[in-house]
Structure 1
Amino acid sequence: MSIPTRIIVLLAAAVGALAVTVTSLVRMLTPGTDALPSSLVGNLGHGVELALSLTGALAALLVSVSALATRDLVNRAVPRWLLHTVGLVAAGILAVTMPGGVIAAAGYTFAMMVIVGALVLIVLTVLRRPLLGLLLAAVVVGALAYAAIGLGAGPLVPQILGSYDMILPQAGLALAHVAAAAGLLIWMIADPSSRRSRFAREVLRHRRAITIVAAACALPYAFARASWLTPWPLFGGGAEMFAADPSVRALGLALGAAMLTGGVLTLGLILPWGERFPRAFAGLGGRSVPPGLAIVPASLVSVLFTAAGIQFALEGVGNVENSVYVLLMFPFWLWGPLLGLATWAYAMRRAMPTAAKRSSSPAAQVTS
């Protein structure tokens, strides 16, 4: 990943950490007016939660500014391992003090982004491969028409956009937490010194298995939502509910498609199109994928999924049986950490010379 990209990432981390710092101080100084939902550590007390949030934000701000203050983004006056350790701890604190309840908003947002992204990719395909592009366009337009007409999904987009007014402060603060934590992680995995440890060699050696398992985490939810097209709907579906409000089925299918898309994008960390754009895309086909285009969003999602997964695991849903069921349907507790490791392995591989990529020796791959 290039130095300018890492500078942008560190600036985002610094801005996010500064926003969390200011917000934490305001919440401390104005008790009784805070309506934001609690985080993973909320059970320890509101004061403890804010103190931890402020500590993590200040540590993240210190590390990001320290890295930005030097030309090679590593402060030579401070050992790298110390900066990495402080950055990792700060990222962890920011993740566990992130306001809860944002994963649903993230899911709706990503579902709409998938639709827009699909349309953009279809346009690029039509310009280069008209027959293939038109076939894909017919499939997507047909699916959207069925959702809008057959399932009554027309009003869903305005309803979802209107709901953001209520969750904007919560989502904005969560984004600041994620930006600061992910920014530090991206900076660390892009640092050449992070590729020299034995653990890094093991991650790189097993990158395919790690990435495949991470991508497979999308299957339970996607399968459950796909069952809503059958007479035997799983995970909350039911004929009476669909009859009362057909748009519920459309929303569930959209979220399932978004989850499945996330799994496919995860596989891109090990597949050829994750390093070079498919030749079917006009203007992009055959060109190298900028590493940051994959590393940055994957790191953001990794932080969000890890925090959400831990929260689901700690809070539970009703009895033990229901809690296990939900954890299997939403395996963010596994997907998040594995996605972080897969992203790290992808960054290490993209940093290698071509000759090292062809080598079968993991040690040669890491140290090259």
Structure 2
Amino acid sequence: MNTSLRRTVVATAAVSMALGMAACGKAGSSSSSSTTSAAATGSTAASGTGTIGLLLPENQTTRYEKFDKPLIEAKIKELAPNATVQYNNAAGSAATQAQQVTTMINAGVKVLIIDAQDSAAIKSSVQAAVDKGIKVIAYDRLAQGPVSAYVSFDNVAVGTLQGQGLLDALGSKATPSAKIVEIDGDSADPNAADFKSGFQAAVKGKVTIAYDASGLWKADVAAQKASAAINQIGAKNIAGFYSANDGMAAGIVTSMKNAGISNLPIGGQDAQLDAIQRIISGTQAYTVYKAYKPEADAAATLAVDLLNGTSITSVATTTKTSGSGDSVPSDLLTPQLVTKANVESTVVKDALWSASDICTAAYKAACTAAGIQ
């Protein structure tokens, strides 16, 4: 038996033994805020062989720390009680994330879930991990390199929904001469190109994109770009704004307010709490809701399947070609458009946000008017 095959057999046997012991014992609680601990039964069978690494890209967007991380950890714990999750956030730095991959490799992780800060820059790190026998899952953003699986949403469809949401909000003002300001995401994120493609295809010939710039997924940068657009085009000549996500929309709304602009549609995505509150109060027209739990559950399931050496085809039912030309088994989920009319039947119904989360004192009257109790 060759060395590589022997390592695979030993690792699989160790994980199987750990799972068997977990069935007879009681799983322990997390040992720290960033780690899901192995079962505290006195057994160390899975130690070092059942570690799954989780690397998320930034912490300016609320979703990663509030939803993705805990949901992924919880699902892994459910599926593999003796598996350990080692976690880090790149805080918006591709260089930091590359170092975190190296740390994960040295720590002996067997599977690595990466939401790439820069999908192209991470390629060499992905290759380094794979060279050490680590299986890599691209999460939310399709990293370049030899990744084993990818889970995200249909991101062109996200952009299409954003375009339709803007056109719906414009109503009769959606004419070929209507000037739109477009603030895109970071070009280092391949999803940003998909969002832009879907959005521009949806609005082509129906409005004019008079200003197009990247906000880098940062509220302050988006605010600066929006202010530049207002100065260039003129506040009275703008029909609406497109923001690739809700975080940037917050910055753009501030710039609009500072310029004395009101009642112009703007939309985003991610269904952040502040965005839902803006939708309820009428300062944001729509958002695109990408349910975090199905995405997190799919990533965790893929990770455990790869850890155990079992097939991933029940989850990864399609393929997606990455920027490096790799055809990657993929799970692409369906997004939803959220407006004031369906806040309750989407994000409230799914318990992303409760009515009490949304309807704080400042928004209570707006919630009552919208029928959200």
TM-score (ref. length: structure 1): 0.23
Task: Considering Cα pairs closer than 8 Å and 6+ residues apart, tell me whether 1 or 2 has the greater RCO.
Answer: 1
TM-score (ref. length: structure 2): 0.23
